[in-house]
Amino acid sequence: MPASRNPVLITGCSSGIGRAAADLLVKAGYTVYATARRPETLADLAAAGAHTLALDVTDEESMTAAVRAVEDTHGHVATLVNNAGYGVYGPIEEVGLDEVRRMFETNVFGLARMTQLVLPGMRAAGAGLIINIGSMGGRVAFPVGGYYHATKYAVEAMSDALRAEVGSFGIDVALVEPGPIRTSFEETINSSAAVGNPDSPYADLVAKVQDVNSGAYDSKLLAADAGAVADVILKAVESSKPRTRYLVTATARGLVHARRLGGDTVWDAIVRRQFS
């Protein structure tokens, strides 16, 4: 266990990837601060040995207080896992922009602000690790998910820029890009307001996307449990030189490489075949 990786602060631990990562890192012996908007949802992680804090990545006072609590005890946050996020789905034409702004506040601006808050302490310590939880959807885009993909494309760009900016201070930046992961994500995107409009000219496309998503998340071959992402997060934390990117699931690796190698023509043909 690299001593420079303790303590670990993780956002969005009430369920899914954040919860699995906090649990695994505690079991591996790390000092973990598991956070959520409602800290009462973290009782089992507290019982397992995690420190729990209230943290809402859309609230400046909440973010500042959480980082200060860790720094008051340990001097600095050694590892930040920017995990908090969610998806809003629907056609570009139909999704309300207020919903899009709220999603950007969590997925992009919350991640950015948490990063800003921990960096001074990391620079002073001469070491640190920031792990951003992105998505294969930050490198490929599917219909009806355009705004969600936009948030994850933003995380890709920010991670690349940040890596170049802070490397000389001894700070590493790693980007984890999961494919389909069996969490509450599918339920969240399928319940998005713009997805359920039967009078929409996109209704048939939306129904097809929902069907394809359900098949992917139900498949043992195409999807994985949150523990698969937690394993990759632990791998990055324990590495003295973390990789810049970690694609999680064979689905993610296959689609990202198909997009990269095939270009627009091949990718558009894949999308047409999948969603026609």
Could you tell me the two tokens for 122? 């990391």
Rama region for 230: left / alpha / beta (φ>0; ψ in -120 to 50; rest): alpha
DSSP 238-271: H-SS--SEEEESHHHHHHHHHHHHHHHHHHHHHH
* Angle at the Cα of 163 from the Cα atoms of 149 and 15, rounded to 5 degrees: 50
Asked if 267 and 214 touch (Cβ cutoff 8 Å), the reply is no
Number of Cβ within 10 Å of residue 18's Cβ equals: 29
Alpha helices in the chain (DSSP H): 16-27, 43-48, 60-74, 97-104, 111-125, 146-166, 185-190, 203-218, 226-238, 250-275
DSSP 48-86: HT-EEEE--TT-HHHHHHHHHHHHHHHSS-SEEEE----
Distance CA 145, CA 190 (A): 11
The catalytic site residues sit at: 148
Q: What is the CA radius of gyration of the chain?
A: 19
